[in-house]
Amino acid sequence: MPTEPRIRATTILAVRKAGRLVLVGDGQVSFGDTVMKGNARKVRRFGEGGRILAGFAGATADAFTLFERLEQKLERFPGNLQRASVELAKDWRTDRYLRNLEAMIIVGDAETLLVITGRGDVLEPEHPVTAIGSGGNFALAAARALYDLEFDAEEIARRAMKIAGEICVYTNHSLVLEQLDV
């Protein structure tokens, strides 16, 4: 039985260095071997004053649903990104509707950087860089290799995404970048 082509939708990278958190995402959304959109915006600001950055990889509608839920959790637990993320992950894993969503998200604020998955994982990266999506491992490897050089967080993120876009056919060079001073 033929299956539908898999949607491949992105590379999201977070870099924290020298008092700055940068979250960057590419703009490509692919369906099978077709680029459906080249300028999707997969990185957003949340919370009061936009002090939380979030980016998604996976199905767009699913990610927007998760972003809405994250906003609700942040209203319930203001200033506590970790608690809001854990509560979101619990709902995502146990709710009959939510557990079918296919996405991953990275969230970060001044103190916290997390990866949240639909399996109920809330992961705090071991290193000050993390990535998700089709080209996530390429961007992560590049960012980790560049990290100890004399580049700031934004330059590391941009260079790593350029490398990922040159290797991963599901990643392009149309970037959306948000940053926070932490």
Catalytic residue among 10, 11, 130, 171: 10
**Catalytic site residue 10?**
yes
Q: What CA–CA distance (Å, rounded) separates 10 from 173?
A: 11
For 71, counting Cβ atoms within 10 Å of its Cβ (0-12 exposed, 13-18 middle, 19+ buried), the class is middle
Q: What CA–CA distance (Å, rounded) separates 134 from 11?
A: 6
Q: What CA–CA distance (Å, rounded) separates 27 from 42?
A: 7
Q: What CA–CA distance (Å, rounded) separates 108 from 39?
A: 23
Contact 177, 23 (CB under 8 A): yes
Could you give the strand order of the β-sheet that contains 11-17, starting from the edge strand earlier in sequence?
A: 129-133, 11-17, 20-26, 175-181
Alpha carbon separation from 97 to 1, 35, 85, 93, 94 (Å, rounded): 26, 28, 18, 10, 9
Catalytically active residues are 10
